[in-house]
Chains A and B, each alone.
Chain A
Amino acid sequence: MSRHTSGESDPWRTSEYGGPVLPAFRFTSWIQRSPYFDAAHRAGARAYDLYNHMLMPGVYTTPEDEYWHLVNHVTVWDVGVERQVEISGPDGYEFMELLTPRDISTCRVGECKYVALTTPEGGIINDPVLLRLGEDHFWLSLSDWDVLFWAKGVAVNADLDVDVREPDVSPLQIQGPKSKDLMSALVGPKVLDIPYYHLIETKLDKIPVVITRTGWTAEVGYEIYLRDSAYAEELWDRVMAAGKPHNVRAIAPSEIRRIEAGILNYSSDIMLDNNPYEVGMGWTVDLDKKADFLGREALRRIKAEGAKRKLVGIEVEGDSLGAWAPEFYPVVVGGKKVGHVTSLTYSPRLKKNIGFALVSIEHAKLGTPFVVRTVKGERGATVVKKPFVDPKKEIPKT
């Protein structure tokens, strides 16, 4: 039974926003709001995404318009939904090592790392950016799902002296080629000395922040982690003022740009039943790291046996299929389902539908053709190399 063929009369149709929006989502007290919610609303946020039980602006103008602003100018994102899990206490370091296959011994204080958190079976709990604030003091800047519960749960029987909690921290992302101009106007020139994936702790007058050279775009970018939500409105206004000469705009996270860059989204490209190898995160696994970690044996076995599925880059033929997909489109070879599309967008720069698909390994070779069943009918597709632009990540490191 499909409801996606009735065109304009279908309440689930693609909206004016450039992507599909629900007919109505109930606005209730138990949906959390980021401390920037009102400011973002005033700046024109008009559709939202729900992430970590919290609303995140999803569209201000259109995804395509916002994309061009991101790649040409500088943009501000309300990503208060990136909730933090703070790990501290005498055994904080040891506990952090336990949670991830990445070797944290090489992560100095003041450095950040993109990590997978894994179960003993090698499944991915989350793919946060880790911030090392002290020898035994870490933040995990989360994608979606309640990792606080995972970390607290692991701590129950770990016999380690750690404190695990959600601090009052709410990030903003500042992304785009002119983000350096904005940030040096806001913070001073010292911000330009922060290397890629490093952080500083500082204050903007009274406003306590951590600033990282990270982001979800593969453009030059920063994140400002506000450490006291009472200052959210003031911080937002100061960012906008600092960015005004550089044509700053509030936009939503860009699905287009992150897919071009090969950046993954937890809950679509990665789920609990995926291991790091099959989604291309094998480079974050240090099987021989010295410290104990959850999943070592399973990941060793998976690596030896080889992944059974693989997340591949795809190009899908035909006209635009929208800025994001409303469902996981089936991937079909010879009439048989061999996987599904996990992310899909139309890149206005590449003038193509690009995305990722999780397919069985025998259909993962570059150039493999298959069929994708979309809301607009069946489309031909091909496995291609990803990322789709800037494979060495030279842009964000500049």
Chain B
Amino acid sequence: MAEIPGTIPVFRAAWYRRSPYFEASMAGGARAVDIYNNMYLPSYFDDPINEYWHLVNHVAMWDVGCERQVEISGPDAFEFTNALTPRDLSKCPVGQGKYVVITDANGGIINDPVLLRLGENRFWLSLSDSDVLLWAKGVAIHSGMDVEIREPDVSPMQVQGPKSKDVVAALFGPKVLDLPYYHFMEASVDGIPVIVTRTGWSAEVGYEIYLMDGAKGVDLWRKVMDAGRPYDIRPTGPSDIRRIEAGILNYGSDMTLENNPYEVGLGWLVDEDKEADYIGKDALRRIKAEGVTEKLVGVEIQGPPMASWLEDFWPVLKDGRTIGRLTAGVYSPRLKKNIGYANVPIGHAKLGTRLTVRSPSGDREATVVRKPFLDPNKDIPKS
């Protein structure tokens, strides 16, 4: 394996949580980890470029037990959950998932989970990296609503790539192939209870298997590996390269509490005709009316191939002055280009705008381009 730059020595300590797949991931050759929702996330097993090609051509499995769930249930669960997000959940039937943003009273983004509607009054929020459990529990106080909010024993793994259908069909039978994009079903593998969703963080065809019994993680891992062996399945880390090609955002870098949905291109998650009240409604209406002052844009960056992830937010300059920052940047081996996102003032967000990004090894020219960089209609994952 080529030397991979960009690691730093961090404790292995009891206070970081482990997913139920942890032992299997380590035995499977995880070479590095992230810490996400206070839990280890295996970040690569091989050079991320090799993992990218494997994802694009075959099938990859990811230990993403760190996608912690917040479960909202109880008589008022629909009303409560609908108040957490600008997306109109009256349009989300039971059995369907939705990508949503959770917003605070200022319209700032708390998290961007995938929401699963398990029942009329039962929801899971499958989280990116922030403690939404605390937010939701806090909001429930004095809300006058009868809800229960907890972190259930649920740990997802992702099975992504063009051959993922073969793997899940081998595991769950052919009926799983009838799942439409962003729908889910309950299933089991030799008695291991799971929920299977047609979702993922790759914009390839893909599934997530939500394990509902933390004692069975290593078991499930083995069964998925066995089912995937004929299709050359490999454990890998989530691919930053592929998700950036697809225009998928990463909470903590491409958006934070300081950002509203409009400026990061998630305005489509704000249902402007939603009748029900939700947290941030007034602020988001005002922002929409006034227009945003900054925007997350796609950029192509000149110069030699960049690494497979960004270690630092590189400053973005115009005419010698820092105006924003590069929030994501990688070399796409398929496009043979450096691609990424930059957060810039609205006056510098037009397609074709020329910018400078300041890397630790020198300045590079960059141009604002359309994103996603590939498959803008998401035909691939829906196929």
Contact assessment for A29 and B9 in the assembled complex, using a CB-CB cutoff below 8 Å: no
Contact assessment for A149 and B141 in the assembled complex, using a CB-CB cutoff below 8 Å: no
Total chain A interface residues with beta-carbon distance under 8 A: 57
Contact assessment for B135 and A153 in the assembled complex, using a CB-CB cutoff below 8 Å: yes
Contact assessment for B27 and A1 in the assembled complex, using a CB-CB cutoff below 8 Å: yes
B13 at the A interface (CB under 8 A): yes
Within 8 Å CB of A324, what residues of B?
A: 11, 13-14
Cα–Cα distance between A149 and B84 once the two chains are bound (Å) = 13
Q: Which residue of A lies closest to B43 (CB)?
A: A26
Q: Choose, from B28-36, B53-61, B172-180, B349-357, the stretch at the interface.
A: B28-36
Contact assessment for B139 and A19 in the assembled complex, using a CB-CB cutoff below 8 Å: no
Contact assessment for A29 and B312 in the assembled complex, using a CB-CB cutoff below 8 Å: yes
Question: What 1/0 flags go to B1-37 for Cβ under 8 Å of A?
Answer: 0000011111111111010000110110001111100
B303 at the A interface (CB under 8 A): no
A47-B11, A144-B15 known; A53 vs B252 contact (CB < 8 Å): yes
The tally of CB-CB contacts under 8 A between chains A and B is: 169
Contact of B313 among A29, A55, A120 (CB under 8 A): A29
A151 at the B interface (CB under 8 A): yes
A125 at the B interface (CB under 8 A): yes
B30 smallest CB distance to A (angstroms): 8
Contact of A22 among B33, B104, B133, B141 (CB under 8 A): B33
A387 at the B interface (CB under 8 A): no
Contact assessment for A158 and B139 in the assembled complex, using a CB-CB cutoff below 8 Å: no
Contact assessment for A48 and B311 in the assembled complex, using a CB-CB cutoff below 8 Å: no
Contact of A147 among B31, B38, B134 (CB under 8 A): B134
Contact of A53 among B10, B15, B129 (CB under 8 A): B129
Q: Which residue of A lies closest to B110 (CB)?
A: A149
Contact assessment for B138 and A150 in the assembled complex, using a CB-CB cutoff below 8 Å: yes
Cα–Cα distance between A136 and B42 once the two chains are bound (Å) = 44
A125-B134, A157-B142 known; A26 vs B34 contact (CB < 8 Å): yes
A160 smallest CB distance to B (angstroms): 10
Q: Which of A9-33 contact B (CB under 8 A)?
A: 12, 15, 17, 19-30
Within 8 Å CB of B211, what residues of A?
A: none
Q: Choose, from A108-116, A219-227, A276-284, A325-333, the stretch at the interface.
A: A325-333
Q: Which residue of A lies closest to B131 (CB)?
A: A146
B357 smallest CB distance to A (angstroms): 13
Within 8 Å CB of A155, what residues of B?
A: 138
Contact assessment for B23 and A3 in the assembled complex, using a CB-CB cutoff below 8 Å: yes
Contact assessment for B250 and A145 in the assembled complex, using a CB-CB cutoff below 8 Å: no
Cα–Cα distance between A19 and B279 once the two chains are bound (Å) = 45
Within 8 Å CB of A20, what residues of B?
A: 11-13
B361 at the A interface (CB under 8 A): no
Q: Which residue of A lies closest to B111 (CB)?
A: A149
Within 8 Å CB of B246, what residues of A?
A: none
A1-B27, A23-B31 known; A49 vs B135 contact (CB < 8 Å): no
Contact of B14 among A27, A28, A294, A342 (CB under 8 A): A342
A1-B218, A149-B130, A153-B134 known; A294 vs B141 contact (CB < 8 Å): yes
B377 at the A interface (CB under 8 A): no
Within 8 Å CB of B252, what residues of A?
A: 30, 53
Contact assessment for A145 and B27 in the assembled complex, using a CB-CB cutoff below 8 Å: no
Within 8 Å CB of A149, what residues of B?
A: 110, 130-132, 134-135, 138
A58 at the B interface (CB under 8 A): yes
Contact of B139 among A26, A27, A156 (CB under 8 A): A156
Cα–Cα distance between A179 and B24 once the two chains are bound (Å) = 47
Cα–Cα distance between A24 and B328 once the two chains are bound (Å) = 21
B224 at the A interface (CB under 8 A): no
B81 smallest CB distance to A (angstroms): 14
A152 at the B interface (CB under 8 A): yes
Within 8 Å CB of A3, what residues of B?
A: 23, 26-27
Question: What 1/0 flags go to A123-144 for Cβ under 8 Å of B?
Answer: 0010000000000000000001
Contact assessment for A48 and B9 in the assembled complex, using a CB-CB cutoff below 8 Å: yes
Contact assessment for A26 and B130 in the assembled complex, using a CB-CB cutoff below 8 Å: no
A159 at the B interface (CB under 8 A): yes
A391 smallest CB distance to B (angstroms): 25
Contact assessment for A28 and B13 in the assembled complex, using a CB-CB cutoff below 8 Å: no
Contact assessment for A326 and B135 in the assembled complex, using a CB-CB cutoff below 8 Å: no
Contact of B136 among A21, A26, A120, A153 (CB under 8 A): A153
Contact assessment for B10 and A28 in the assembled complex, using a CB-CB cutoff below 8 Å: no
Contact of B138 among A25, A156, A326 (CB under 8 A): A156
Interface hub of A26, A58, A328 (most chain B Cβ within 10 A): A26
B383 at the A interface (CB under 8 A): no
Cα–Cα distance between A294 and B142 once the two chains are bound (Å) = 10
Cα–Cα distance between A107 and B8 once the two chains are bound (Å) = 42
Within 8 Å CB of B8, what residues of A?
A: 25, 27, 48, 55
Contact assessment for B130 and A146 in the assembled complex, using a CB-CB cutoff below 8 Å: yes
Contact of B7 among A2, A12, A25, A327 (CB under 8 A): A25
A120 smallest CB distance to B (angstroms): 7
A397 at the B interface (CB under 8 A): no
B253 at the A interface (CB under 8 A): yes
A154 at the B interface (CB under 8 A): yes
Contact assessment for B10 and A49 in the assembled complex, using a CB-CB cutoff below 8 Å: yes
Within 8 Å CB of A153, what residues of B?
A: 134-141
A225 smallest CB distance to B (angstroms): 21
Q: Which residue of B lies closest to A342 (CB)?
A: B14
B309 at the A interface (CB under 8 A): yes
Cα–Cα distance between A367 and B213 once the two chains are bound (Å) = 37
Cα–Cα distance between A147 and B15 once the two chains are bound (Å) = 17
A320 at the B interface (CB under 8 A): no
B160 at the A interface (CB under 8 A): no
Within 8 Å CB of B105, what residues of A?
A: 152, 156
Cα–Cα distance between A315 and B139 once the two chains are bound (Å) = 42
A267 at the B interface (CB under 8 A): yes
Interface hub of B8, B130, B310, B313 (most chain A Cβ within 10 A): B8
A119 at the B interface (CB under 8 A): yes
Interface hub of A30, A145, A148 (most chain B Cβ within 10 A): A30
Contact assessment for B131 and A145 in the assembled complex, using a CB-CB cutoff below 8 Å: yes
A58-B10, A268-B14 known; A25 vs B137 contact (CB < 8 Å): no
Cα–Cα distance between A385 and B34 once the two chains are bound (Å) = 37
A390 smallest CB distance to B (angstroms): 25
Q: Which residue of B lies closest to A125 (CB)?
A: B134
The list of the 9 closest CB pairs from A to B, nearest first, reads A153-B138, A25-B10, A24-B32, A30-B252, A146-B131, A150-B134, A149-B135, A157-B142, A24-B7
Q: A27-B7, A48-B8 are in contact. List 6 more A-B contacts (CB 8 A).
A: A28-B6, A28-B34, A29-B311, A157-B139, A327-B18, A328-B14
CB within 8 Å of A: which residues of B? 6-16, 18, 23-24, 26-27, 31-35, 38, 43-44, 104-105, 110, 129-144, 218, 250, 252-253, 257, 279, 309-313, 327-328
What would 11 A/B residue contacts be, using CB atoms closer than 8 Å? Answer: A1-B23, A21-B10, A25-B34, A26-B7, A27-B311, A29-B309, A50-B10, A55-B8, A153-B135, A156-B279, A158-B141
